[in-house]
Amino acid sequence: MGLKNTRAGNYPEWYQNVVNEADMAENSSSPGCMVIKHWGYGIWERIRDVFDEKIKETDHENCYFPLFIPLSFFQKEAEHVDGFAKEMAVVTHSRLAMKDGKLVPEGKLEEPLIVRPTSEAIIADSFSKWVKSYRDLPVLVNQWANVVRWEMRPRLFLRTREFLWQEGHTAHASAAEAEEETKRMLEAYRDLCENTLAMPVLVGRKPEHEKFPGAVDTYCVEAMMQDGKALQAGTSHFLGQNFAKSANITFVNKNNESEYAYTTSWGVSTRLIGGVIMTHADDEGMVVPPKIAPYQVVFVPVIKKPEDADAIMAYISNIANEAKKVMPFGEKIRIKIDKRDKSSVDKFWEWTRKGAPIICEIGMRDVESQNVMVKERIKLGTPEGKQIVSAKEFIDTLATRIDSIQKHLFTKAKERLEQNIRTDIKTPEELKKYFESSNVWIEDEKQGKVAFVRGKWSGDANSEELLKAMKITIRCILFDQSGTEGVCLLTGKPATMDVIYARSY
């Protein structure tokens, strides 16, 4: 009952199969945009709720800023516009009119408006009005919003023209405080990825040529997908005074002098869902970590004789009511009883492909013996794939069971990450040879289980070209530096910086 494509067979098609079969999202008739369906949006709601709590705990306030940014705002920050001008939706008219039976745009705007690709420009404009004195600082805001970037090769969750995200924006009285904020939120992303999505990440700083347009420093969390490619899961930018200067965010400091503020921005998006898929899904379909599963437990009635239906449904309802009192991770549990008019086998495979963590099949025999047939998604196909336990034991161990599924997923992904960072590549020649042969699913034994290379980088000005020629990128300059000297894997020059080389999404 597996997917049409496997990871080893055709990884990109496998990804598409997972998304389709789990009914998480689909391409829409609006070119390059996706429809996020219930199972995908439910995962996003969970990610949002968890991170929103963190945003509030760290004293950030949710606000909402305009979708449209006047074109002239982009002219202010030169680097910023260079980075985004190539991929923006431009609104030029404000109405439609019928001409010769055809609708045409009318009411040309004096100034075109850009549909936000990110909101630094428009939020900096607000900050410039709000901030007058050091007493008004820091300003700590966040918004949950949709953004648009004109992607030419869209891919569900990973790269669509419109996507959903949160973007935090802050202004501070000193560079040190702003940098501290940048790193605090990076750490919040690491925590979100690892402890909520069960997706281990590497943390570090982007090289100069990979920075956010307009940033002084971009920090990132990078995850390893099952095809060995890197996925940038979140970024946190220290913007220095760049946006403050272009938007004129000035404040009177404690010495009564006027100064430009220091700003930051940081964001994660629905792209995380793509990361979750490529971290946990298998050849049978999606696997959702319990913390973000729209339903953690699904009950599937197995009704062989119509006359048993009432007894089975009553028994399920009783167990579900007991289960509702269980608090995995100290939160309300999420339970679904699948009452649809469909065969139980079809239901089982549907929830399997959706990756619901626990599926309980309950038939007349279970009612009579007061048992529950428990199938954990992560144990599918193993000897423990089906467990018959008493209803009492099921309830008593449910929180632990859910917790251990979450832990198992993280541990497995963490091992994969750790086992697939090569550290034995020592020269540019070896690096080149390695990446020429390794663009495959990393658990395909024939190709070797390798994906990332940890090695030295000299920071040479030539690096971008050399990387492009090899179709790889430097994912980050690791926070975790060894301090040793070695040879730059790009240029052969002496180097001390430890970086991650990888192909990427």
Q: Which residues bind a copy of itself (CB under 8 A)?
A: 26, 28-31, 33-38, 41-42, 44-45, 61-71, 73-75, 81, 85-98, 102-103, 105, 107, 112-115, 122, 125-126, 129, 135, 141, 145-146, 148, 150, 161-162, 164, 341
User: DSSP letter at 485?
Assistant: -
**φ, ψ for residue 211, nearest 5 deg:** -65, 155
**Nearer Cβ to a copy of itself, position 53 or 310?**
53
Asked if 89 and 115 count as a contact pair (C-beta separation under 8 A), the reply is yes
Tell me the closest approach of the beta carbon of residue 374 to a copy of itself, in angstroms. 26
Tell me the closest approach of the beta carbon of residue 97 to a copy of itself, in angstroms. 7
∠ CA 40-42-43 to the nearest 5 degrees? 65
**Nearer Cβ to a copy of itself, position 63 or 327?**
63
**Nearer Cβ to a copy of itself, position 265 or 406?**
265
**Nearer Cβ to a copy of itself, position 114 or 364?**
114
**Nearer Cβ to a copy of itself, position 126 or 296?**
126
**Nearer Cβ to a copy of itself, position 48 or 416?**
48
Q: What is the CA radius of gyration of the chain?
A: 26
**Nearer Cβ to a copy of itself, position 88 or 472?**
88
Helix (H, G, I), strand (E, B) or coil at 179: helix
Q: What residue type is assigned to position 391 of the chain?
A: A
Tell me the closest approach of the beta carbon of residue 188 to a copy of itself, in angstroms. 19
Helix (H, G, I), strand (E, B) or coil at 208: helix
Asked if 23 and 249 count as a contact pair (C-beta separation under 8 A), the reply is no
Short-list 334, 226, 329, CA closest to 283: 226
Q: What residue type is assigned to position 36 of the chain?
A: I
What's the distance, Cα to Cα, between the start and end of the chain in Å? Answer: 29
Tell me the closest approach of the beta carbon of residue 140 to a copy of itself, in angstroms. 10
Cα–Cα separations (whole angstroms), residue 71 to 68, 82, 85, 87 = 9, 13, 10, 14
Tell me the closest approach of the beta carbon of residue 505 to a copy of itself, in angstroms. 21
Tell me the closest approach of the beta carbon of residue 394 to a copy of itself, in angstroms. 25
**φ, ψ for residue 58, nearest 5 deg:** -95, 25
* Backbone angle region of 410, left / alpha / beta, with phi > 0 → left and psi within -120 to 50 → alpha: alpha
User: DSSP letter at 116?
Assistant: P
**Nearer Cβ to a copy of itself, position 84 or 434?**
84
Tell me the closest approach of the beta carbon of residue 146 to a copy of itself, in angstroms. 6
Tell me the closest approach of the beta carbon of residue 298 to a copy of itself, in angstroms. 15
